[in-house]
Amino acid sequence: LLDATESSEPPVVVLKTRFMQLQPNLLALGKARLQLFETFCLPTIVAQRDTDFIWIIRTDPDLDPELLIPLKAMLVPYSDRFFLVASNDNTEGFRALNV
């Protein structure tokens, strides 16, 4: 384990978001969520003054292309900080892990 007091570098924050996991074909719901993501979530994160973060956005591996294509297009300008991961593993989140 790295002791943060030994490093002169600031910590990197990791944000994790689930988008339509286990709901790949619910298009009406997905389109509404995509609009919320584009209107509120993405601009809020992009506007952060501190850019020492990465954002992991997990989607269902079978996410409908009508949702996946626009989601990818929104993230292209920020590809250095955003990771789109197709996975239904651990849908409960990191807190559910028994380590």
Please write the tens of the pLDDT for every residue from 35-80: 999 999 999 999 988 888 999 999 999 999 999 999 999 999 998 9
pLDDT of residue 45: 94
Half-sphere exposure of 56 (CA within 13 A, CB side): 11
Question: What integer best gives the mean pLDDT of the chain?
Answer: 87
Amino acid making up residue 34: L
Write the CB contacts of 95 (distance below 8 Å, at least 6 apart in sequence). Answer: none
> How far apart are the C-alpha atoms of 81 and 33, rounded to whole Å?
21
Residue 95 clears pLDDT 50, i.e. is over it: yes
